[in-house]
Amino acid sequence: MFTLNMQRLIKSQIPAFIAVLLLSASNFAQVIDGAEAELSTPLSAKELLQDFMSNAFTLSTDFTQVVIDEEGKLDPRASSAGVFALARPGKFRWQITEPNTQLIMSDGKNLWNYDVELEQATVKPVDESLSATPAMLLSGEENVLDAFDLNGSFVTIYDDERVQWLELIPKETHSDFSRVRLGFNDNDIRIMELSTNIGQIIRIEFLSVARNLELDEQLFRFSAPDYVDIIGEAAE
């Protein structure tokens, strides 16, 4: 069921991960030799995570996003696509272009959520919005392992590519997510999978990822049109 809680997650929390192409629950579980064998030590998994957090200073990519319900079925009402950019530390731009236009972004101090159709934007200080969320995880605002436990690594074949997965468990007991999985191909982020506390899975697939390009600072500065209602107060 596509609940209001799921709609809230998709419209606000999801800004921090990246893209998804869903085949089916069983396709995601297709692993080399048919089992989720541990193919790397926790240390190598930690090194892969640290490499991504430390050496990807900027990132830009297109993304697709889907939601899988509790029965393992794709929910067509929750699919979306758009573009994503980040500049560490703390800045990101998550722009949904299909099916509706929405912008979620952080300038490092404030998190903005702009709904074009509603002509409304909300703003919250980052430290009130991103703790132990995928957005914090990707933007590198703090040490990931302070907020998540690294639960291991395994390898699958996904879309004919070898993908190494890292599994992270939020330390915060009140997190909206019970598990986050990051999938890497050639050390670049390829897929993010978020398991919610109500049994649904959000998958984001990143397409044509570009690392460490110079990004225009204006990408991360929100300027609302005069007719837009602003809800909340931005931190100075």
Return the CATH superfamily for domain 4-231: Lipoprotein localisation LolA/LolB/LppX (2.50.20.10)
Average the pLDDT over each of 27-36, 134-143, 181-190 and give the range with the smallest value: 27-36
pTM of the model: 0.75
pLDDT confidence of residue 10: 52
- List the one residue out of 59, 63, 51, 60 whose CA is nearest residue 19: 63
Distance from first CA to last CA of the chain, Å, rounded?
40
The band of 232, judged by pLDDT with boundaries at 50, 70 and 90, is: very high
Residue 152, number of CB atoms within 10 A of its CB: 16
For residues 172 and 29, is the Cβ–Cβ distance under 8 A?
no
pLDDT digits (tens, 9 = 90+) for 148-176: 888 878 888 877 788 889 898 888 777 77
The length of the chain is 236
State the Cα–Cα distance between residues 153 and 46, nearest whole angstrom.
9
Q: What are the φ/ψ torsions at residue 181 (nearest 5 degrees)?
A: -120, 135
3 state SS of 96: strand
